Structure 1
Amino acid sequence: MRARRRLALAGAAWLLAGVATAQGIDTNGTVSWQGRSASMSAAGVGSFVLHAPRGDRRIAPQKLAVHTASPLFDGLFAMAQDDLRQDSVAAIRDDAYDHGQSIPCECFATGEKWPYVWTRDLSYAVDLALWRLDPERARQSLRFKLSEVREPSATQGLYVMQDTGSGGSWPISTDRIVWFLGARHLHDDPHFADETWRALQDTLAQDRQYTFDAQLGLYRGETSFLDWREQSYPAWTAKDVSFIGESYALSTNVLHYQALQLAAAWAEQRHDAHVAEFRGQAEALKRAINTYFWRDDRGLYMSYIGPGAMPVDSYDLLGIALAVTSGVADPARARQALAQYPTWPAGSPVIWPERKDQPVYHNRAIWPFVSAYALRAARAVNDAPRIAHEMDSLLRGAALSASNMENYELLTQAVHVEEGALSGPVVNSPRQLWSVAGYLDMVIGGVFGLDESGRIEPKLPAAWVAPLFGDRTRITLQLADQRITLVRPATLDGDLLVSASQRRDGNETIVALKAIRSDAPPLRTDAPLYAPAMPDAPVVTDTSAGWKVSFSGKGVLYLDGRRVGPIDGSVVVPKGASRQCFRLTRIAEDGLESLPSQETCKGEETRIAGQGPWRWRTNSDGRFAVALAYANNHGPINTGVTAAVKQLMVQCEGQPLQSIPLVMPHSAGIQRSTTGSFVAHAGAACQFSLEQGFNMSYLRHNAHYTGNQGGTAGPLNQANIDALLLSPAPQAGATP
């Protein structure tokens, strides 16, 4: 408790001081921060020694180099390359594959503590920088995450693997589509381009079939990379992830938008007939994202929304950064979202607000690769204060920890703080691949302005001029095939340096800089750190006037995802024709809402026991909700590849055959599956039967999976089904 109070006071002092940047580096090659310091000294041509709190690190000459007035800046660029060298391996391993035995692969390992290739880590790292530095190893690593199908009866194709994940992985965890973010840079190899095109079509089609909600126009599933459920989702999802499978994440939907854009562009290049289809799907998805995720009262995109499009007062920096860099956010919303996302002296948190009851990992943490994407987003809108702040955080973290670490505690930028059960970061790996790539991108793209198309567009904050230039007029980046030189302007009458003119001299581009005023707002430093505590499930009692919902405290009541209104004591809600499900959030004095409670459901629901097929006759026209009561004990709730996925085939009189995907993730006893819906006329007889769907255990690659079931013994896509559950479907959720 005392440690947490000290951290809160330190943050408050910064807010009172109104400090915008705190990089603390000087031209002597030193960075100082909260009583810790690191310095860099030259040790021969291209060699450096970093003197950090944990000891000295010697850095050998590297292939690429920067030449500035700051030995620290120059040496840390060399250190990032040395970290990348150590992550470039001939074999990988993970305890969940081949019993932890080495697997030959000329690949990028994920980090010192993660000697395997994971889809999201690799893909973000390739997108940030690795496609440029080692394209062949990047291709090999990406290929390792592609797989064909080993089960002859399943739909064949070449698919991107969703790693082991929540409730048995895909389609609860659904961010495998990020693979194409990295692969898009590497299509100069014709064979790899053909593989990518095939995987893109097959993966998009499969996601469309199983995770796309046609009513909202969004893809379901977990937030990208934020996969420790109770850190960013309600704590009760640690035991029931169906809520996650029925929710919609900003980051994952933006990644699908980018994949659809890529599909449209490649279809056009290949004269494929599906150009208009892909383009239309991309534009429709962009509209849906802006309709459902934008909160005008916050000026931010929500991190995720719950079933029924229930708004959740929770935000994440990666999702917002991707919305900006992808073009999903228009210029006005892009600027506003970055300006409204709060920051602290050490850097920008990956989620906000933080959770008081969770240890440091995603919660109350800085992740350098996310800071790198935030830097890209800030460059896109000329947000000079945010550019400087993310650069400060990236440089300071690498210098003080003598490696490009996985993450840092938010208020101290320490690699670990001791707070009993809340200590953390719980895991923190040196030379984490996407952190390495983020640092390299900060130098190559962030400082010197080289983008993926080859254009050079520096956007250097004026706060960085003194440490980088010193008394020099030029600084230089030397890449394998080109050299970029930035020339300092004579005067600094603005907060952002951009290109005034460029000229070529052989393979060197010389960029004369000029200062402009970005007119960007200052960083947001007044945000509360923590969200209020989540309430228990609401108490709902039956009265003659309707359902009486009671709550002791200030909160907000939600009915089937729709905001009913504030509650302070009790409120009566009229009974409806459908089963009605209530959730609560708590409101703090500062106006923030907590994460949503578990639901309390009331009203009639038809339960037809058995494993199917089932028969039922409707008593009204309309849309009906359908789910399964089931148990899936084929793996723990937080991992695995055996989420049970079925197609419920519904044949009602007067309607065409309707096919509804239902997901039964790993469970703790009997739970409810995800919910689907179908249309029927009054009095119609309906028949229901189950057909096999698809999960990650069908992939040939997972024949090597030895961590739980669904691996070497063969695919497994089963659950113990107890009953079919039917009720009139609730009204679709409204926007906040």
Structure 2
Amino acid sequence: MLSVVMMAALAAAAGTDTWTEQTIPWRGEQARMTAQADGRFTLQGPFGQRDIAAQRMRSDTASPMFDGLFAMAQDDLAQDSVSAIRDGAFDDGKPMPCTCFETGAKWPYVWTRDLSYSIDLGLWKFDPLRARNGLKFKLSDVRDPVQPQGLYAMQDTGSGGSWPISTDRVVWFLAAQHLLENQAFADDVYRALNDTLAQDRLYTFDPDLGLYRGETSFLDWREQTYPAWTANNVVFIAQSFALSTNVLHYQALQLAARLAGQHGDSARAMGYAEQAAELKAAINARFWREDRGMYMSYIGGDGTAYDTYDLLGTALAITSGVAEGDRARSALARYPTWPAGSPVIWPERADQPIYHNRAIWPFVSAYALRAARLVNDPERIAHELRSIMRGAALSGSNMENYELATQSVHVDEGKLSGPVVDSPRQLWSVAAYLDMVSEGVFGLNEDGRIEPKLPLSLVPLLFGDRTSISLELSERRITLRLPRRLSGNLLVAGKITQRKGETVVALKGIDVATTPLRTDAPLYAPPMPDAPTLSADNRGWRVHVDGKTVLYADGQRVGNIDDSTYIAQGGKPPCVSATTQDRQGLESMHSPMVCAGEPETLDGTWPRAWTAPGTGRYRVALRYANNHGPIPTGVTAAVKMLVMTCGSDPAQRVPIVMPHSIGDQLSTYGVVTVKAGVQCRFALEPGFNMSALSHNAHYTGGKGGADGVVNDARVGDLLIAPTAKKP
């Protein structure tokens, strides 16, 4: 038994802010958990009171709060386990039979990313049938007979008309990989994996940068995370590259290589493995900022760096193995945190309400906890664990999100109030708590191995004056035993003994290098400047921006300027943007990009002919209008393939994306290589969008659903301009 003096010393060193085994105080309020002899619990807090029934799985620690919240998470999961789902945008809101998980109290439907992250966070262990059923619900064949047939993971309705503006549907495979013991499901997974990866390679992969285009995963309220000028024009997002989405593609490629090998297709396995290795190298080359010691959340379509970061992308980079060694440790250590927990984005936006902005999301905290375990960071492990516990205890449910500073479910700040939406028993938050217990504390890995990594600072809370704690699961019991003498700062597995369905882990203390949590970061990004203006004279291209700014040209940081500067006219006409910088060197969002010179304009009917004035690389884009849906949602982003044939050279094919628009605007661009004096002909071929999937015949929230496939836009001029972009 540990001495009272030893326990007091540990508690003081941990900075436990007066937590006890039963209570969690916070900002003048308190949550209190009471355990009953029959396995029931009662939680009291600012929300009122919640009675929690005894559950089939239980943790047995010194903390009724920890054990009771584990029971509450199971109760939340039971309420999320349904026989039918519904959403106002599908089947006119009528119930759709599905023995699966719904997303939360306010989200009674199945969404690809929500379900997939929830399953990856361990729900596959707790109810594999519902997990598989939900994933199968988000799998679809093709209803458009003119399109190549296949089986695809679905991108949900979203920015600018869904895929390929948002491209994180591959998260489906992060979940599916845990459920391959069912042969019929495994066969569907392999087929869908091959088809989905091939489609993404064709339409979203940029061979110049070696990355996949598309929006940040889960952070899909564009004004919260992207520049304000994307509110009504998401073409930049479609052209850009996100860390999280590229890491998800890396993981999907790794899975594809493994499954192809198991299917005896060595050539395909080698091809996927090579693509995965190349993508990993590209992510590390393009997203890493040496001056910050962090991975950027996203970069522009020309590779322009954005001084913005997100916790999910960072954590996924670490847990996937994309980030390794010192980079992995630095990326997590340099990501800022606040007393209540870690924000999902940083820096925050001073002009945006609370949702992704200024917010803690428990499921992201759970991925940060996984990353902290991987790099052996006891301070971060303890911090994320306490954040997950505190939020659930003070709100009486596993909520969708919390305000960053107060960890409240609502803060009244007028038009900035929020979280704007905050659902109880949000599925991925429920999964986060269950994973925090089973893996975060008891060390149960996905392959069944037991690998606890328990910060010494958590011993007073979890062990009290006990020498062991245990976790009772459906088919096994895990017991962690303290060493006779506590030492080091992290408790890990020593001797492991198996006996009669019980795994007993004798813990041992080790010393690991730690970095204090980063708590000194500024909260907000500085304000964004106006767009530069460009003019030409005998000195070159004159770039003017009001005030002191940082100038970027053609994806490269030019440096600080005050009022104006010149870019030599000898090269291609530049495309420029600007940021402002605060006293600590943190940069704002970029201004809109402005390009010098006038593009050559081809109008008339297709096909269109053009003779290149000089050898080199050119950007090609279309002027268009797509009024098939609003900017935030839908399935009718128009996707075409622009085919350029120059003389006898092989045709060059570039995908063109035309998201929902407000009036006329420019599409995404492709880059082609041409020789001077050679005539080229352009043709526009049909592409693929989410309305082509059979599942979306149930979509009644807009065009491209029950009324049939819609993949078009009003196409105007073809614009061609020389570019400095190199292969």
- Residue of structure 2 aligned with 1:182, choices 162, 169, 175: 175
Paired residues in the alignment total 715
* Aligned with 1:282 (options 276, 298, 321): 276
Partner Cα distance (2:360, 2:17) in 1: 15
- Counterpart of 2:434 (choices 432, 436, 440) is 440
Whether the 8 Å CA contact 1:655–1:680 is kept in 2: the answer is no
State the match for 1:173 in structure 2: 166
1:305 aligns with 2:271: no
Q: CA deviation at 1:24?
A: 4.2
Match of 2:216 in 1: 223
1:525 equivalent in alignment to 2:524: no
Q: State the partner residue of 1:516.
A: 510
Structure 1 residue 489 displacement after superposition: 1.7
Cα separation, 2, equivalents of 1:716 and 1:418 = 42
Q: Does the residue aligned with 1:39 lie in a helix, a strand or coil?
A: strand
Q: Which residue of 2 aligns with 1:637?
A: 631
What is the alpha-carbon distance in structure 1 between the residues aligned to residue 270 and residue 605 of structure 2? 42
C-alpha displacement of 1:338:
0.8
* SS of equivalent residue, structure 1 residue 428: coil
Unaligned runs of 5+ in 2: 1-11
Q: Does 1:687 align with 2:681?
A: yes
Q: What SS class does the counterpart of residue 603 from structure 1 fall into?
A: coil
1:414-436 C-alpha deviation (Å, 9 max, x unpaired) = 01100111111000000000000
Root mean square deviation of aligned Cα = 1.3
- The letter of the residue matching 2:624 is Y
Distance 1:230 1:22 in 2: 37
Amino acid at match of 2:61: T
The question of whether the paired residues in 2 share the 8 Å contact of 1:23 and 1:393 is answered with no
Query: What residue number does 1:3 align with?
Result: none
Matches of 2:574 and 2:29, distance apart in 1 = 55
Q: Deviation of residue 584 (structure 1)?
A: 0.6
Partner residue, 2:78: 85
Q: SS of 2:172's equivalent?
A: helix
Distance 1:604 1:49 in 2: 69
* Deviations, residues 150-183 of structure 1 (Å, cap 9, x unaligned): 0110011000000001100000000000000110
The reply to whether residue 61 of structure 1 matches residue 59 of structure 2 is no
The answer as to 2:126 corresponding to 1:133 is yes
Query: How much has 1:117 moved relative to structure 2?
Result: 0.3
1:551: how far off? 2.3
Worse overlay, 165-174 or 578-587: 578-587
Q: CA deviation digits over 1:325-382, x for unaligned, max 9? A: 0000111100111110010000000000101001110001000000000000000010
Q: Is the 8 A contact 2:640 2:687 kept in 1?
A: yes
The farther-off stretch of 363-372 and 463-472 is: 463-472
Partner of 2:654: 660
Q: C-alpha displacement at 1:732, in angstroms?
A: 4.0
User: 1:579, 1:669 → 2: CA distance?
Assistant: 27
> Could you tell me how far 1:580 is from its partner in structure 2?
2.6
Which residue identity does 2:303 align to in structure 1? A
Shift of 1:23: 5.9
Alpha-carbon shift at residue 619 of structure 1 (Å):
1.6
Aligned with residue 621 of structure 2, among 616, 619, 627? 627
Partner of residue 12, structure 1: none
2:205 and 2:213 in contact (8 A); partners too: yes
Are the equivalent residues in 2 in contact too, given 1:251–1:318 (CA < 8 A)? yes
Matches within 5 A, 1:311-390: 311-390=305-384
Task: Give me the whole-angstrom Cα distance separating, in 1, the residues matched to 2:386 and 2:222.
Answer: 30
* CA shift for structure 1 position 577: 5.3
Matches for 1:407-556 after TM superposition, within 5 Å:
407-556=401-550
CA 1:605–1:576 in 2, change beyond 3 Å: closer, same or farther?
farther
Structure 1 residues not aligned, in runs of 5+: 1-17
Report if the CA contact (8 A) 1:97-1:704 is conserved. yes
Q: 1:52 Cα shift?
A: 1.4
**In structure 1, C-alpha distance between the alignment counterparts of 2:593 and 2:582, rounded to whole Å:** 20
Cα 1:619–1:654 change in 2 (3 A) is farther
Match of residue 594 from structure 2: 600
Shift in alpha-carbon separation, 1:191–1:500, aligned structure 2, 3 A: same
Kept in 2, the 8 Å contact 1:558–1:582? The answer is: yes
Equivalent in 71, 78, 87 of residue 94 of structure 1: 87
Question: 3-state DSSP class of the match of 1:713?
Answer: coil
Confirm or deny: 8 A CA contact 2:530 2:546 kept in the other structure: no
Give the secondary structure class of the aligned counterpart of 1:274: helix
Distance change (3 Å), C-alpha of 1:297 and 1:19: farther
Report Cα offsets for 1:291-345 as digits up to 9, x if no partner.
Answer: 0000000000000001210000000000010000000011110011111001000
CA contact (8 A) 1:87 1:108 kept: yes
Which amino acid is 2:65 matched to? Answer: L
State how far apart, in whole Å, the 1-side matches of 2:248 and 2:689 are.
Answer: 20
Q: What corresponds to 2:230 in structure 1?
A: 237
Corresponding residue of 2:288: 294
Distance 1:419 1:614 in 2: 54
User: How far apart are residue 36 of structure 1 and its match?
Assistant: 1.3
CA separation of 1:161 and 1:501: change in aligned 2, threshold 3 A: same
Q: Tell me the distance in 1 between the aligned counterparts of 2:192 and 2:311.
A: 28
Contact 2:617 2:725 in 1 (8 A): no
Q: Does 1:51 align with 2:44?
A: yes
Matches of 2:693 and 2:211 in 1, distance apart? 25
Deviations 1:505-552 (A, max 9, x none): 111000011111121111111111110001111122333212222223
SS in 2 for 1:151: coil
Q: Determine if contact 1:578/1:727 at 8 Å carries over to the other structure.
A: no
Aligned partners of 1:22 and 1:345 also within 8 Å: no
Q: Percent identity?
A: 62
Q: In the alignment, is residue 107 of structure 1 matched against residue 100 of structure 2?
A: yes
Q: Which residue of 1 aligns with 2:146?
A: 153
Q: Offset of 1:611 from its aligned partner?
A: 4.9
Shift of 1:554: 2.5
Q: Secondary structure at the match of 2:566?
A: strand
Q: Structure 1: which amino acid aligns with 2:361?
A: W
SS of 1:309's equivalent in the other structure is: coil
- Which residue of structure 2 lines up, in the alignment, with residue 613 of structure 1? 607
SS of residue matched to 1:646: strand
Q: CA deviation at 1:413?
A: 0.4
Offset at residue 440 of structure 1 (A): 0.4
> Structure 2 counterpart of 1:606, which letter?
E
Secondary structure in structure 1 of the residue aligned to 2:339: coil
The aligned amino acid for 1:630 is Y
Task: Tell me, in whole angstroms, the C-alpha distance in 1 between the residues paired with 2:554 and 2:568.
Answer: 13
3-state SS of 2:302 partner: helix
Query: What SS is found at the alignment partner of 2:644?
Result: strand
Structure 1 CA distance for aligned equivalents of residues 322 and 15 of structure 2: 29
1:583 aligns with 2:577: yes
Deviation digits for residues 444-467 of structure 1 (CA, Å, limit 9, x no counterpart): 000000000111000011111011
What TM-score, normalized by structure 1, do the two folds share?
0.96
Aligned counterpart, 1:646: 640
Distance 2:562 2:484 in 1: 62
TM-score by length of 2: 0.97
Provide the C-alpha distance between the structure 2 equivalents of 1:20 and 1:726, rounded to a whole number of angstroms: 61
Give the whole-Å Cα distance in 2 for the aligned partners of 1:429 and 1:23.
Answer: 28
1:577–1:728 Cα contact (<8 Å) kept: no
CA shift, 1:20, in A, is 7.3
Question: What amino acid sits opposite 1:215 in the alignment?
Answer: D
Deviation at 1:579, TM superposition (A): 4.1
Q: Is 2:144 the partner of 1:143?
A: no
For 1:638 and 1:691, locate their aligned partners in 2 and report how far apart those are by CA, in whole Å.
26
CA offset digits 1:576-606 (Å, max 9, x no partner)? 5544321111111110000101122221310
Shift of 1:730: 2.1
